[in-house]
Amino acid sequence: MGYLDPGFFGLLSQIGTALLLVVVSAFTLFSKPIKRFFRKIFKKDEQETPSEETKG
């Protein structure tokens, strides 16, 4: 492997930190709507299943 400038690792750590903060922020911002969406989907499935069982 060739020579790597010592400042390169500082740059990589800054980019990595920024990306990590973006990912954590996006997860925090969108976690509630995503959870709400999946709850609606699974509640509909749970409500349909018992009603089909009671018909039989």
pLDDT recorded at residue 46: 64
pLDDT recorded at residue 4: 79
pLDDT recorded at residue 26: 93
What DSSP designation does 56 have? Answer: -
pLDDT along the chain (56 residues), means of 10: 83 95 94 90 69 55
- Write phi, then psi, for 3 (nearest 5 degrees): -75, 130
**Residue 50 half-sphere exposure, CB side, CA atoms within 13 Å?**
5
Q: How many Å apart are CA 6 and CA 10, to the nearest integer? A: 7
